[in-house]
Amino acid sequence: MSLAHPPRCFALLPCAGVGSRSGAAQPKQYVTIAGRAMVAHALDALAQVPRLAATLVVLAPDDERFEAEVPGFTGDRCWIARCGGEQRAQTVANGLAVLAERGVGADDWVLVHDAARCLLKPEWVERLIDACLDDAVGGLLALPIADTLKQEQGGRVGATLDRSHKWAAQTPQMFRLGMLRDALAHAAHVTDESSAIEAQGLQPKLVLGDSENLKVTWPSDFALAERVLAQRTRGAT
């Protein structure tokens, strides 16, 4: 297949959710951690990845806070679209359409990242790009599961599950725009991009992530993220 240019890489942040599990009184992406909105930390990390041609943040149509919360998100590599949907998959699909309108090709790579993974480091993104840039399918950051897994039944343990060969999915997740767009168009009730790709009979590549790349979800996660960022700040001084 002849391409007009080598495939480029773009980041996409679905940022239209309300974070109902977090216990916060506002969309969790705007909760302050280490003095800044959570989403600002994630965007800072992506901005430090030179191979990302641009980052698109997909907001809810009625979002009026983003520019005030993340004033540094400006420039040619910083794109915003207010076209988020009710579910993550719809928000991502709408974002892919915006990228296509902006000239991103079907064979270009899109790295979808959770705004709630505010502890992202640029080197993890670089690791993912290195592993997937020449891959036929793409892949995602993930970690092998170390804990013993229990299946709940009525508030009690119903079964212990075999943890071998099981990984916990993280983000970014990196797939070609055309492939991901088609997969999402045929997927139902998927919670991440890899699930949509898997539903097409494909096998995304597992790329080793990091235990610090946690998704801030529960109330206690905010304090943990605060501590990690504080430690990083002290280590940089």
pLDDT score at 171: 98
The confidence score (pLDDT) of residue 26 equals: 80
% of residues, the chain, pLDDT over 70: 95
pLDDT at 196 over 70: yes
Architecture of the domain spanning 9-236: Alpha-Beta Complex (3.90)
Q: What number is the average pLDDT over the span 177-193?
A: 95
Domain range summary for the chain, segments of one domain joined by +: 9-236
pLDDT at 20: 46
What pLDDT shows up at residue 2? Answer: 43
Q: What is the mean pLDDT of residues 213-236?
A: 90
Could you read off the pLDDT of 50-90 as tens digits, one per residue? 999 999 999 999 999 999 999 999 999 999 999 999 999 99
| CB 12 within 8 Å of CB 176 | no
Inform me whether the pLDDT recorded for 27 exceeds 70: yes
In order of 67, 78, 126, 140, the CA distances from 71 in angstroms are: 5, 11, 25, 29
Provide the pairing of β-strand 9-15 with 109-112: parallel
Query: 18-25 long-range contacts, Cβ below 8 Å, gap at least 24?
Result: 19/116, 21/217, 21/218, 22/216, 22/217, 22/218, 22/219, 22/221, 22/222, 23/218, 23/219, 24/219, 24/222
Tens digit of pLDDT for each residue in 88-130? 999 999 999 999 999 999 999 999 999 999 999 999 999 999 9
Does residue 34 carry a pLDDT above 60?
yes
d(CA 37, CA 52): 22
Q: pTM, whole model, 2 decimals?
A: 0.93
Q: What is the pLDDT of residue 31?
A: 93
Strand partners, 112: 12, 173
pLDDT (0 to 100) of residue 13: 98
* For range 181-188, the mean pLDDT: 94
CA distance 131 to 7: 14
pLDDT of residue 19: 52
pLDDT-derived band at 25 (thresholds 50, 70, 90) equals low
**Mean pLDDT score, 215-219:** 92
Q: Which two tokens stand for residue 1?
A: 């297949």
Q: Residue 22 has what pLDDT?
A: 47
- In angstroms, rounded to a whole number, what is the distance separating the alpha carbons of residues 96 and 73? 20
- Report the chain's mean pLDDT, rounded to a whole number: 93
